Amino acid sequence: MGRLEQLQQMLEQDPGNSRLQYMLGMELLGAGRAAEAAATLRALIERDPNYVAAYYQAGRACEQAGDFDGAREFYRRGIEAARRAGDRHTESELQAALDILG
């Protein structure tokens, strides 16, 4: 069983685990399955809007899938979430990604 399948199985047993869902999104992104990664990370953000790291990766996934409007949305929402969390580092990364997209 591969890592992707292991993560999916663990999530079936613990569907509310944000860290596992984030890891699944990253694994999908790494496997070149950008649209699936974006959907997985979007579901995570909808359930756990304070999981700040997910916004940047969701934006990256959207970019790789060719959904630049979706990427901008994640970056903007992520900037707001990072500000609420006081996470200046992530806020600056998200702002830089948004600036690059224009």
- Tens of pLDDT, residue by residue over 8-19, are 999 999 999 999
The tens digit of pLDDT for each residue in 43-70 reads 999 999 999 999 999 999 999 999 999 9
Q: Which among 44, 41, 46 is positioned nearest to 27, based on CA atoms? A: 41
The architecture that CATH gives domain 3-101 is Alpha Horseshoe (1.25)
Residue 75: is its pLDDT beyond 80? yes
- Residue 102 has a pLDDT of 84
Split at pLDDT 50, 70, 90, the class of 96 is very high
Residue 23: is its pLDDT beyond 90? yes
Burial class (CB in 10 A: 0-12, 13-18, 19+), 54: buried
Where are the chain's structural domains? 3-101
